[in-house]
């Protein structure tokens, strides 16, 4: 390589590193008071002493009970653990991204699993966001990571989690987290996308843009049944980390199942990342799985929406074996759930599974999301 060419390349090699080095990330804790507004209903007649209690709850969640379960009124004041990152220079949008992880994950999903910077960099959404001039708030949803761990059955429900998001949005817009943000973009993954969908149903005015990753209308309704064969109380599955947890906090137990469900074909990801991911998996509340279908109905949200799915997403590309483009395929057939959307678009990331951030193609996922934000927030 000539000296001239090397000098020409140096800015592109150095400036992104300097920009990220100059961004500031902090661990913070938010105090959030939230309750789900709904009517009382009769709980399913299930016996907690039955060894099949978890299976029965999950099976109930994919029927009528699952559709009304989120309406049980619950609420409290919760501590929400989060990572807040600010860019060196904000772009014209003056926007923050609210990042919500999927089930069995926590806020570190958005930062390369919390690995050392050189290993995390290819998988670090927050780094990409701040380099593009956005602030990013990655939260531990209630029941995950270092956030409050209330009753995993009665409290951790889709509607309550949506109300927690609403209160966080108010804090972002009122300047209680960093600066006063004029625009908030919601970014969810998997369960975080389902909860984000519920959030747009309850508070359609909250977001200026919505990005849902690892999600489509083709959600397999028997997925909780599939999970049931792979779930045990976290206190049993991972006693060194979750010994004191309520037994209805659950953990995945079969690594091969997680690999097949969450990742794409061999070669599409680093096996060391997959192994580290499994060894550091988080727990999930049973009530969250039971109330999962609340995030699969229409919303009146009127802003722009972008869906990003991996081509080989085992949960959301059903009936499979992979997602393809078209109005009658996942995720193209998700558009009817957003009848009032200003704009609906989607991207399929080739050779990628469900957990998009953890594949070699993560940069393509990040770029797709930020192209959408550039068009709909910065140029809006």
* Position 324 in a domain: yes
Pairing status of strand 135-139 against strand 75-86: antiparallel
pLDDT digits (tens, 9 = 90+) for 272-305: 999 999 999 999 998 888 787 777 889 999 999 9
In a domain, 14, yes or no: no
Residue 271: domain span: 26-378
Token digits of residue 151: 């009753």
Is 223 part of a structural domain of the chain?
yes
**pLDDT score of 65:** 43
Q: Residue 170, Cα to own-chain centre: how many angstroms?
A: 19
- Mean of pLDDT over the chain: 86
* Alpha-carbon gap, residue 167 to 159, rounded angstroms: 13
Residue 87 placed within a domain: yes
Is residue 365 pLDDT above 60, yes or no? yes
- CA torsion sign for 187, 367, 373, 315 is negative
pLDDT higher than threshold 50 for residue 161: yes
Task: Select from 25, 22, 18 the least CA-distant residue to 135.
Answer: 25
Question: Beta-carbon neighbour count of residue 64 at 10 Å?
Answer: 9
Residue 231, H or E segment:
strand 231-233
> How far apart are the C-alpha atoms of 197 and 300, rounded to whole Å?
10
Whether residue 69 is contained in a domain is answered as yes
CATH of the domain at 140: 3.40.50.1820
Query: Is residue 209 left, alpha or beta, with left meaning phi > 0 and alpha meaning psi from -120 to 50?
Result: beta
296 in a structural domain:
yes
**What's the pLDDT band for 231 if we cut at 50, 70, 90?**
confident
User: What is the count of structural domains for the chain?
Assistant: 1
Contact of 32 with 167, CB cutoff 8 Å:
yes
pLDDT, tens digit (0-9, with 9 covering 90-100), for 240-272: 999 999 999 999 999 999 999 899 999 999 999
Judge whether residue 32 has pLDDT over 70: yes
Instruction: Decide if 2 is inside a domain.
Output: no
Q: How far apart are CA 305 and CA 321, in angstroms?
A: 25
Q: pLDDT tens, 14-28?
A: 333 334 445 799 999
Over its C-alpha atoms, the chain yields an Rg (Å, rounded) of 20
- The two structure tokens encoding residue 171: 């804090």
Q: Please give the Cα distance from 302 to 366 (Å, whole number).
A: 23
The shares of helix, strand and coil residues in the chain, as percent rounded to the nearest 5, are 40, 20, 40
Residue 263 CB coordination number (10 Å): 23
Domain membership flag for residue 171: yes
| Overall average pLDDT of the 28-51 stretch | 64
Length of the chain as a residue count? 380
Question: Look-up: residue for tokens 């670090």?
Answer: 124
Lowest mean pLDDT among 6-10, 146-150, 188-192, 249-253: 6-10
């Amino acid at each position: 390589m000539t000296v001239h060419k090397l000098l020409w390349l140096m800015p592109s090699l150095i400036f992104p590193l300097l920009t990220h080095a100059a961004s500031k990330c902090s661990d913070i804790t938010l105090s959030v008071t939230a309750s789900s507004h709904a009517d009382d209903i009769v709980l399913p007649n299930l016996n907690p002493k039955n060894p099949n209690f978890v299976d029965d709850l999950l099976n109930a969640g994919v029927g009528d009970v699952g559709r009304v379960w989120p309406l049980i009124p619950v609420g409290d004041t919760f501590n929400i653990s989060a990572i807040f990152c600010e860019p060196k220079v904000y772009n014209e949008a003056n926007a923050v991204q609210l990042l919500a992880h999927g089930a069995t994950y926590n806020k570190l999903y958005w930062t390369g699993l919390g690995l050392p910077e050189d290993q995390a960099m290819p998988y670090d959404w927050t780094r990409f966001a701040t380099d593009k001039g956005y602030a990013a708030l990655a939260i531990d949803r209630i029941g995950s990571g270092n956030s409050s761990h209330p009753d995993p059955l009665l409290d951790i429900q889709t509607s309550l989690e949506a109300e927690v998001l609403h209160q966080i949005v108010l804090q972002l817009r009122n300047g209680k987290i960093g600066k006063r943000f004029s625009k908030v973009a919601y970014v969810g993954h998997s369960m975080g996308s389902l909860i984000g969908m519920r959030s747009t149903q309850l508070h359609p005015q909250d977001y200026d843009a919505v990005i849902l990753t690892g999600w489509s209308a083709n959600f397999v309704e028997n997925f909780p049944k599939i999970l049931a064969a792979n779930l045990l109380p976290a206190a049993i599955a991972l006693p060194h980390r979750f010994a004191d947890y309520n037994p209805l906090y659950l953990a995945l137990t079969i690594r091969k199942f997680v690999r097949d469900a969450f990742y794409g074909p061999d070669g599409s990801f680093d096996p060391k990342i997959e192994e580290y991911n499994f060894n550091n998996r988080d727990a999930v509340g049973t009530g969250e799985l039971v109330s999962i279908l609340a995030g699969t109905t229409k919303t009146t949200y009127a802003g722009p929406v972008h869906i990003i799915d991996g081509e080989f997403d085992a949960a959301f590309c059903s009936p499979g074996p992979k997602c393809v483009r078209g109005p009658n395929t996942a995720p193209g057939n998700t558009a009817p759930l957003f009848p009032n959307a200003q704009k609906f678009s989607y991207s399929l990331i080739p050779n990628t599974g469900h957990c998009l951030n953890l594949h070699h193609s993560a940069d393509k996922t990040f770029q797709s999301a930020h192209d959408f934000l550039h068009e709909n927030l910065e140029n809006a």
